[in-house]
Structure 1
Amino acid sequence: MNVLLTNDDGIDAPGLTTLHRCVTETLGDQVSQLVVVAPDRGRSECSHSVTTGEDLYIEEIRPGWFALNGTPVDCLRAALFGLKFEPDFVLSGVNAGANLGVNLMVSGTFAAARESATLGVPAMAVSHYRRHDVAKTWDHVPRWVEQTLKEFAEVALRYRQAKNVTDEAKTPPLWNVNLPAVDPSTPSVPRERCPVDCNPITRTATIDEGRVVYELDFHGRPRSRGSDVERCFAGSLTISDLSPFFRTLASRTSGFLA
């Protein structure tokens, strides 16, 4: 397998190093090439933006690791069209913070995965819900995502093999995965397929001498029963199987996974 990694937290983010470790530890010698192309700095909440008004520059900072002065979508395009890398699938993350529900509309992490799927390459975005009362560590992540990564790799390879053969293969796998904010020493967490919550996050705003200040309660946000927000906040690793245009693939979005 050829695998491409990216993120929106930047090339030096611990979540990206963790994602690299997830691949090497879980898939091991099944991977022929593992390439990283990520923003040279944090580009969180940039959504699906691309750079058109300035030049893009790419630098290999160490073997197989490239930093780009652009957005996550720029990174995806630079890898596929500039470096001519042909991945079997793309992984984006691990984001330091949840990307659930309507957050997908602003998430750079998910945007990179979505761009990949629009170009016919399977992709999975991985994010980690965080709370102030739970240690923000990373060593547990490979353990928690191992089974999900194995399953995604199998689905992605089946898609690549069946491409242009059946109608089912027309929509590349696009998974949005969120890890819960529970004790990192927990050996494993429940896994559930969930639809994406469509509830808006309630915001308030004040204006003081022209300065606009937004306030929102991310943790206390509204959530629909059985949705990605509700289940992740309750302690499950959630998987939402989507089309690149946010339509939930209903036949693959609900149910407990062993």
Structure 2
Amino acid sequence: MQRTAILLTNDDGIDAPGLVAMHQAISQWIQISGNQDRYDITVVAPDRGRSECGHSVTTTRDLAVTEVQSRWFAVDGTPVDCVRSAMTVLCPNASLVFSGINAGANLGVDLLVSGTFAAAREAALHGVPSMAVSHYRRPDVPKTWDHTGRWLKPVLDSFFREVMSTGNFDVGMTANDSEHRPGQLWNVNLPAIDPDTDLPPMFDCEVERKPMQRAGTLKDPPEVLAKSQSATGSEPMSRRVERQPIQIQSDFHGRPRSSGTDVERCFSGNLTISRISPYPA
């Protein structure tokens, strides 16, 4: 039997504990389900934290890749760079992609800036079923990872069952295909509750569309730059130039939320699953 290739990535970097937790969760699921001889896992992740970089990519230079341990690769690029590097070179036969576990929730309009979600979305655009996993955090709840495999097991059960039942499992898409089908794209968020909880309630829900409220502050004092170059860069100008920082603040935990959306459900202590189209509109 040909083994199925699973790709793992994230946006917190190759050394992030959430990536290790994701690897362990998938490995545990494979073992419990009796599929040890069916799947291979390859990790391709940024060489350092790349949070909130969205769907950005590197196009002006080559990417450097380092195999830090067997089947674990660090790429000096964004999460989307990692997926592209994997699907073209490092793990070209990837049939499933998991991105995470992100240290912090990715809910609602967060998805527009989330590198975790962007990595999963990139794979789904190429026909590969993908899942982004994030963990909501609060200061009053221990930030541990050992429980995540237990919480994710029913999610993985549903994901693998649905992917296989719909036939959206074998990639094999080429430029000659008459019709391109995107892969399934799930966005999963674990709640910030007692990690000793056996299993949090699980809900399928829509993504919150209300943006987060923000306030900006112009900070004092300004930094004075004595000189600045002319537009042509040929001669210095004598005019006074001030550079002043702007601080933009928001209340993540107090953000707007509508009943039944991913934000409201996750903030209420539930595990949320949102099935999303990878296309821009």
Q: TM-score, normalised by structure 1?
A: 0.91
**Paired residue for 1:63?**
70
Deviations 1:91-119 (CA, angstroms, capped at 9, x unpaired): 00000000000000000000000000001
Pick the aligned partner of 1:178 from 189, 200, 223.
Answer: 189
| Deviation for aligned residue 1:245 | 2.4
| Deviation for aligned residue 1:207 | 1.2
| Deviation for aligned residue 1:169 | 8.8
Larger Rg: 2
Aligned residues: 245
Give the secondary structure class of the aligned counterpart of 1:115.
helix
**Paired residue for 2:200?**
189
Q: Report the CA distance shift for 1:123/1:46 in structure 2 as closer, same or farther (over 3 A).
A: same
**Paired residue for 2:168?**
159
Give the secondary structure class of the aligned counterpart of 2:7.
strand
Residues 80 and 86 of structure 1 are in contact (CA less than 8 Å); yes or no, is this contact kept in structure 2? yes
Distance (Å, rounded) in 2 between the aligned partners of 1:211 and 1:54:
31
Alignment partner of 1:12 is 2:18: no
Residues 162 and 169 of structure 1 are in contact (CA less than 8 Å); yes or no, is this contact kept in structure 2? no
The RMSD of aligned alpha carbons is 1.9
Residues 7 and 91 of structure 2 are in contact (CA less than 8 Å); yes or no, is this contact kept in structure 1? no
| Larger relative helix fraction | 1
Q: Report the CA distance shift for 1:186/1:221 in structure 2 as closer, same or farther (over 3 A).
A: same
| Deviation for aligned residue 1:159 | 1.1
Distance (Å, rounded) in 2 between the aligned partners of 1:109 and 1:203:
23
**Paired residue for 1:144?**
151
Distance (Å, rounded) in 2 between the aligned partners of 1:246 and 1:200:
17
Alignment partner of 1:229 is 2:263: yes
For 2:123, the aligned partner's letter is S
Percent identity of paired positions between Structure 1 and Structure 2: 53
Residues 88 and 156 of structure 1 are in contact (CA less than 8 Å); yes or no, is this contact kept in structure 2? no
Residues 216 and 249 of structure 2 are in contact (CA less than 8 Å); yes or no, is this contact kept in structure 1? yes
**Paired residue for 2:176?**
none
Give the secondary structure class of the aligned counterpart of 2:206.
coil
Residues 45 and 75 of structure 2 are in contact (CA less than 8 Å); yes or no, is this contact kept in structure 1? yes
For 2:53, the aligned partner's letter is C
| Deviation for aligned residue 1:223 | 0.3
Alignment partner of 1:83 is 2:90: yes
Q: Report the CA distance shift for 1:53/1:146 in structure 2 as closer, same or farther (over 3 A).
A: same
**Paired residue for 1:250?**
none
Residues 117 and 187 of structure 2 are in contact (CA less than 8 Å); yes or no, is this contact kept in structure 1? yes
Residues 102 and 199 of structure 1 are in contact (CA less than 8 Å); yes or no, is this contact kept in structure 2? yes
**Paired residue for 1:40?**
47
Where in structure 2 are the equivalents of 1:116-135 lying within 5 Å? 116-135=123-142
Give the secondary structure class of the aligned counterpart of 1:175.
strand
Q: Structure 2, unaligned stretches of length 5 or more?
A: 174-178, 223-243
Distance (Å, rounded) in 1 between the aligned partners of 2:26 and 2:195:
19
Q: TM-score, normalised by structure 2?
A: 0.83
Residues 163 and 170 of structure 1 are in contact (CA less than 8 Å); yes or no, is this contact kept in structure 2? no
Distance (Å, rounded) in 2 between the aligned partners of 1:30 and 1:223:
44
| Deviation for aligned residue 1:2 | 1.6
Worse overlay, 39-48 or 26-35: 26-35
Residues 40 and 69 of structure 1 are in contact (CA less than 8 Å); yes or no, is this contact kept in structure 2? yes
| Deviation for aligned residue 1:84 | 4.6
Residues 195 and 227 of structure 1 are in contact (CA less than 8 Å); yes or no, is this contact kept in structure 2? yes
Give the secondary structure class of the aligned counterpart of 1:240.
strand
Q: Report the CA distance shift for 1:24/1:31 in structure 2 as closer, same or farther (over 3 A).
A: farther
Q: Structure 1, unaligned stretches of length 5 or more?
A: 248-258
| Deviation for aligned residue 1:172 | 1.6
Distance (Å, rounded) in 2 between the aligned partners of 1:154 and 1:57:
36
